[in-house]
Amino acid sequence: MRVEAMKNRANRYLEWKQLQTGIARLRDEALPVLAYLDAKTAFGKQWGDYRAGYHVLNQARAEHADTLDLVAKLKAAEVSAAEARAAAETVRLAAQDAFMKAKGEHAGVAGQLKERDRLQALAGKEYGADAAQLADKLAALRAEADQLKDGLRELKKQRQESSEHLQALEIGRGRSPEDVRQFKAALDEAGIPHAMLSDIVEVMDSNWQGAVEALLRGYRHVVLLDRESDRREAWKIGEKLRYRHFVVPERAAPPRANKGSLLEVVRFSSDAPEWLYRQMNSVTRVENALEGASVEGDWITRDGYFRERRGARHIGVPAHEYAFGEAARQSRLLAVRDELKALNVRILADEERLVAATREAAGLAEYLGGMDAIRQLDSRADEFAALESRKAELEAEIARQGAALAAAGAEKDAADQRYGDARLAHDRVCQREMESLSKYNQKLQEVEQARRQLRRLSGELREWAERLSADALAPEHVAALEDEFDTAADAKHQLNYLEEKLQSGDWEQDDSVLALKDKLVEDLTSLDRERQRRQGEVDRSRELTDEARAAYIGKLRATVRAYGQNVKRLGELAGIQVEVELPQLSNDDAVLAQAGLVLKFNFDQKGMMGMNDGEASGGQQVMKSLILLIGLMMDESNPSGFVFIDEPFAHLDIFNIDRVAGFLKATEAQYLITTPNTHNINIFARPS
């Protein structure tokens, strides 16, 4: 045990020395070379990646510069289109003023000529007319004139509001409802910057303008706060003014639009509520309800037939009520212009009716006052002739100015369309510019990161190079290290493993254990030689013992066979059949201890019986015993000696006494027999 313990200590010392040597080799020889080679390879790869990334960065920079040039060109085109639109509007307004002036003058002339017609009518019916009826007609005309004046005031008020709305639309802003204007004014007064949702939404595909308007109709007056911190003050103002639309402080950048969603055709000029993105991103665009029936989830058609979780219904918005984007502004602009035209036509018609009613009432009043219509016609004949001539001239002027106004209106509409197209193109290229700028910034960050990585790898390369010896990079040395370790990481892993093993192990660090181990091993060797010598003696003794044992077993087998043969021969002498079962003798203590003879006797052909069977008679029992006993004395090599038998004839009848005596005589052996007193003298006759 001491030797094994000392061997373990010596092995731990040797393993400790081996770990120290391996760690030193990895740390000072293998790791610097492999790390230098890995750093060199990584530097080369990183340099290639850096150059490729720098090339992509230059492409992105050039692409962004081209996009900026295009933005400037399209902005100039938008400004030019705006100026052309303003010029076209100026021409249209001038044509409209000239047309309205001619129409107004024509209306005046026509009104004066109506006075002629009135006088002519009066001249034809002044005689016989009832004064009471004329008075009633005069009252009715004056009531009609008052009603027309009230209607004209209301129509002119509507025209003023529509004109203001038109001006707001022409400069890019819509006219909001009164409650919205009040709330926006209150926010401006409180210094809360904000935007309307309708101002930041632009529909990129005009074919889907109706669908966007339908879905967002309820959100057109949603107010978006620029600063989330203003939400308490804004909500307080909204509560005070009972503002019925959402005031949203939380805004987020637009997410990536799902393919085929409504969000895909919309662009936001600034951040919007996240819930709006989710809603628009979850609605799929379909051409019709039949196509929508095969779509899972919400969907909407171009004209606003909308399907949601509760079912499907039409939620479309008339074109003149569009509120989102440039298309909505153009649609409302056309609607307001049509409304202004209709109002002007109604106002002109009502003014003509008012002038006619007023003049007719004045004429009736004059008539009723005694004025002579025939005299007036005669005295004003030249005036009415001049008015008729002027009316014809004015009708020609109205036709000419109407054509000019129509041409100016068409040019203004074309200018509006060109401006809308230029603005939309500018917005789209601005989006491209933002995307190209984002791409450029991303590539710039990647190049900067690659540059920092190059600096780091260069520093590592210099650091490892300083740790290399003069011949560290010899080809055969490098090949041997690369054959042993795959990479520097592999060597580092092995180094960490050895250091961890060194730190966690229980090591022997005293080199004296080697001498102690050798001394104990030498002593053990001497003892082992002595043991082997003595073991040889023991083995020799065992061989002699085994030989003697084998001779003994052989003698025992011969003795048993001889004894069996003696017993059988004695049985033949006595006329008794004897069977002997010899034991199986082998070199085994247990077998030898259990070995024994099995004998069976057949007296008078009555069948075999064992030694201790109760069926044997007394004489038969005596014969068995005598056969077994005398068989032991039949040694042919030493025939001397005699047998002492104590009362062999006791309890035997005469027949058995004769039989036993005959047997004893037949054996020709010497016996010393004791016998009790008996009247049978045959016991003395046979033996000798």
- Cβ partners under 8 Å of residue 50, min gap 6: 447, 450, 451, 453, 454
Q: Minimum mean pLDDT among 57-71, 118-132, 638-652: which range?
A: 118-132
Helical spans, DSSP H, in 282-380: 289-292, 325-368, 373-379
List pLDDT tens digits, range 450-505.
888 878 877 777 766 666 665 666 666 566 566 566 666 666 666 676 666 666 66
Contact at 8 Å (CB) between 117 and 376? no
pLDDT-based confidence at 15, cuts 50/70/90?
A: low
The string of DSSP codes covering 436-455 is HHHHHHHHHHHHHHHHHHHH
**Above 60 in pLDDT, residue 173?**
no
What percent of the chain stands above pLDDT 90?
15
Q: Which residue has the tokens 């084998």?
A: 550
Q: What is the pLDDT of residue 146?
A: 86
Q: Minimum mean pLDDT among 182-196, 321-335, 395-409, 441-455: which range?
A: 321-335
Q: Minimum mean pLDDT among 95-109, 243-257, 269-283, 624-638: which range?
A: 624-638
Question: 168-182, 226-240, 318-332, 599-613 — which one is most confidently predicted on average?
Answer: 226-240
Q: Which residue has the tokens 């209106």?
A: 409
Contact at 8 Å (CB) between 415 and 85? yes
Output 352 or 499, whichever has higher pLDDT.
Answer: 352
**Above 50 in pLDDT, residue 370?**
no
List pLDDT tens digits, range 651-662.
676 767 777 777
Q: What is the pLDDT of residue 241?
A: 93
Q: What is the pLDDT of residue 225?
A: 95
Q: How far apart are CA 437 and CA 63, in angstroms?
A: 9
Buried-state track 64-77, b at ≥16 Cβ within 10 A, e below 16: beebeebbeebeeb
Residue type for position 230: D
Q: What is the pLDDT of residue 194?
A: 94
List pLDDT tens digits, range 75-84.
888 888 888 8
- Residue among 93, 418, 686, 576 nearest 675 (CA): 686
**Above 80 in pLDDT, residue 565?**
yes
**Above 60 in pLDDT, residue 184?**
yes
Question: 29-33, 443-447, 480-484, 602-606 — which one is most confidently predicted on average?
Answer: 443-447
Q: Where in the chain is the domain with CATH 3.40.50.300?
A: 553-685
Q: How far apart are CA 8 and CA 391, in angstroms?
A: 135
Q: What is the pLDDT of residue 422?
A: 87
**Neighbour order of strands in the sheet with 194-196:** 194-196, 223-225, 247-248
- Residue among 365, 356, 452, 326 nearest 137 (CA): 365
Q: How far apart are CA 71 and CA 427, in angstroms?
A: 9
The structure tokens listed for 639 are 């025939």
Q: What is the pLDDT of residue 371?
A: 47
The structure tokens listed for 201 are 């939404």
Output 641 or 455, whichever has higher pLDDT.
Answer: 455
Question: 52-61, 364-373, 375-384 — which one is most confidently predicted on average?
Answer: 52-61
Q: How far apart are CA 397 and CA 417, in angstroms?
A: 30
Q: DSSP 3-state assignment of 595? A: coil
- Cβ partners under 8 Å of residue 483, min gap 6: none
- Cβ partners under 8 Å of residue 682, min gap 6: 654, 657, 658, 661
Q: Minimum mean pLDDT among 143-152, 319-328, 544-553, 589-598: which range?
A: 319-328
Q: Find the farthest-apart pair of alpha carbons in the chain and give their distance in angstroms, rounded.
A: 223
**Above 80 in pLDDT, residue 250?**
yes
Output 435 or 373, whichever has higher pLDDT.
Answer: 435
pLDDT-based confidence at 231, cuts 50/70/90?
A: very high
The structure tokens listed for 658 are 């004769």
- Residue among 538, 450, 541, 397 nearest 104 (CA): 397
Q: Which residue has the tokens 């307004």?
A: 93
When the pLDDT of each residue in the chain is averaged and rounded to a whole number, the result is 78
Q: What is the pLDDT of residue 229?
A: 93
Q: Per-residue pLDDT averaged across 540-565, rounded?
A: 83
Contact at 8 Å (CB) between 226 and 233? no
Instruction: Return the percent helix, strand and coil in the chain, to nearest 5.
Output: 70, 5, 20
Q: How far apart are CA 461 and CA 411, in angstroms?
A: 72
Output 394 or 14, whichever has higher pLDDT.
Answer: 394
Q: How far apart are CA 677 and CA 675, in angstroms?
A: 7
List pLDDT tens digits, range 110-146.
888 887 777 777 665 544 445 556 667 777 887 888 8
**Above 50 in pLDDT, residue 255?**
yes
Q: Per-residue pLDDT averaged across 506-522, rounded?
A: 66
Contact at 8 Å (CB) between 659 and 623? yes
Output 270 or 616, whichever has higher pLDDT.
Answer: 270
- Residue among 282, 278, 274 nearest 224 (CA): 274
Q: What is the pLDDT of residue 624?
A: 77
End-to-end CA distance of the chain: 78
- Output the CA–CA distances (angstroms, integers) from residue 180 to 210, 229, 451, in the order listed: 23, 22, 54
Regarding pTM above 0.85, the answer is no
- Residue among 305, 303, 285, 191 nearest 237 (CA): 191
The structure tokens listed for 251 are 């805004």
**Above 50 in pLDDT, residue 604?**
yes
Dihedral angle computed from the Cα positions of residues 576, 581, 587 and 591, in that order, rounded to the nearest 10 degrees: -110
Q: Which residue has the tokens 């960490």?
A: 496
pLDDT-based confidence at 277, cuts 50/70/90?
A: very high
Q: Per-residue pLDDT averaged across 203-213, rounded?
A: 87
Output 53 or 677, whichever has higher pLDDT.
Answer: 53
The structure tokens listed for 517 are 């181990």
Q: What is the pLDDT of residue 54?
A: 81
**Above 70 in pLDDT, residue 25?**
no
> Nearest 5 degrees, angle CA 601-CA 604-CA 609?
25
514 exposed, middle or buried (CB, 10 Å; 0-12, 13-18, 19+)? middle
Q: How far apart are CA 27 and CA 23, in angstroms?
A: 6
Output 641 or 609, whichever has higher pLDDT.
Answer: 609
- CATH number 3.30.365.10 is the correct assignment for the domain at 553-685: no
Q: What is the pLDDT of residue 687?
A: 46
Q: How far apart are CA 196 and CA 216, in angstroms?
A: 13
Q: How far apart are CA 162 and CA 337, in angstroms?
A: 8
Q: How far apart are CA 226 and CA 234, in angstroms?
A: 11
